[in-house]
Amino acid sequence: MSKLRANERRAEIMRILECERVAKMTNLAARFKVSRQTILTDIEILMASYPIETIRGRYGHVKLQEGYALYQSFLSQEVQDALLRNLGKFDEPDARLIVGLLRAHGSKHNLVRIEAFAF
């Protein structure tokens, strides 16, 4: 990976945490070809805006707080619950559209409920 500017590197760190939830500081430093101190500074800056937890020390790591989604849902939880409750009442083409909408714009913690309606 080529050297990124600080804001690009921080955005990529957040994407990594969104996918993997946990990352070792030393692995992040190696991935971005920067020092561990640079990663620590990035994490401190990110912690001001995101629910990130750190474990310091030689084997320190960073993790995104459980249940947090970087890209928040466009649908309120109330709307998601109503759609999921009534999904069985729709014909298959409409149900497929609603499942797609929920996958794209719903909360990640609803994925198990959504997948129960997979076609």
Q: Could you give all domains of the chain from N- to C-terminal order, each with its CATH number?
A: 6-64 (1.10.10.10), 77-115 (no CATH)
> Is 83 within 8 Å of 102 (Cβ atoms)?
yes
Mean pLDDT of 103-116: 78
Mean pLDDT of 33-61: 92
Residue 11 confidence (pLDDT): 93
Of the chain, the percentage scoring pLDDT greater than 90 comes to 50
Residue 9 confidence (pLDDT): 96
